[in-house]
Amino acid sequence: MKKEIKKTALVTGASRGIGLAIARQLGLDGYNVVMVATGTREKNSAAISGLENLGITVKYVQADISKTEDRQRVVREAVALFGRIDVLVNNAGVAPAQRADLLDMTEESFDRVIGINTKGNMFLTQAVAKQMISQEPIGERRGVIINISSCSSVVSSTNRGEYCVSKAGISMLTTLYADRLAREGILVHEVRPGVIDTDMTSTVHEKYNKLIDEGAFPIARWGKPEDVANAVSALASDKFLYTTGNYIDVDGGFHIKRL
């Protein structure tokens, strides 16, 4: 009888927030999980053991996805331990260190945000896609890539323009890779979170509390990391085998235009 191969999911930015929830959910779905973040293993030991305590097989890789050598090492270490990568979730991302009006935005901040959010995702996807192509397909496909962009892909915030541009770039790289990789048996999806309660939004809690109270979000609450993780889990499953290059909003209906 043929031994069933256990699939592996690689999740960037998995030390906290949305990425940690995704890593946990995919682990519970039965994947080996490769968690990637910039901090040391020691710093993220609670996050790692939280998953291990649920019976999930975890590999932690400390890496900065904006660096070429780090991206290559992530793939190397994942494959060395688990033999393959079946799901890539490009979740790691940063906001500008300081929100500044578009007319005061610095090149330094632009380069940092684009370097991680857009360039990092673009080239990690390239490296993982090549790995996936070299693998034997399991079932109908060779792999799934899920990009976490943002409502900011299409919504203007003039006090963090570099973030919006970086996320719009992720939407286009979703389209590009979906087109190129379909023939390789690899599907590519995009998830656009709205306002999710994590460290990233902790500095603007009051602002978003007010927006929620004023009815800006049809589903009038903060999004939870698990809301995004559940969407990722569904897209990574075998339920979307004839879908690629699409996005799904996980934003409480924020994208709905009203009159």
Ligand X SMILES: NC(=O)c1ccc[n+]([C@@H]2O[C@H](COP(=O)([O-])OP(=O)(O)OC[C@H]3O[C@@H](n4cnc5c(N)ncnc54)[C@H](OP(=O)(O)O)[C@@H]3O)[C@@H](O)[C@H]2O)c1
Q: Catalog residues that contact ligand X under the rule CB under 6 A.
A: 12-19, 36-39, 64-66, 91-94, 116, 148, 150, 193, 195-196, 198-201
Other Cβ atoms closer than 10 A to 26: 28
Least Å distance, CB 183 to ligand X, is 28
Closer residue to ligand X in complex, CB, 93/252 = 93
Identity at 18, one-letter amino acid code: I
Closest approach, Cβ 170 to ligand X, in A, equals 8
Catalytic residue among 31, 60, 163, 177: 163
Q: Minimal distance in Å, beta carbon 195 to ligand X?
A: 5
Catalytic residue flag (residue 60): no
* Min separation Cβ 184 and ligand X, Å: 25
Secondary structure, 3-state, 37-61 = ECCCCCCCHHHHHHHHCCCCCEEEE
Q: Which long-range contacts (CB under 8 A, 24 or more apart) does 60-65 make?
A: 60/34, 60/35, 60/36, 61/34, 61/35, 61/36, 62/36, 62/37, 62/38, 63/36, 63/37, 63/38, 64/38, 64/116, 64/120, 65/12, 65/36, 65/92, 65/116, 65/120, 65/121, 65/124
Q: How far is the CB of 3 from ligand X (least distance, A)?
A: 33
Identify which of residues 141 and 174 has a Cβ nearer to ligand X in the complex.
174
Among the listed residues 197, 170, 169, 175, the one whose alpha carbon sits nearest the alpha carbon of residue 187? 175
Q: Is-contact 151 192, C-beta < 8 A?
A: yes
Distance between CA 188 and CA 210 in Å, rounded?
A: 35
CB-nearer residue toward ligand X: 142 or 235: 235
- Indicate the residue among 181 and 232 with the shorter CB distance to ligand X: 232
18 or 173, CB closer to ligand X?
18
Q: Which residues are catalytic?
A: 163
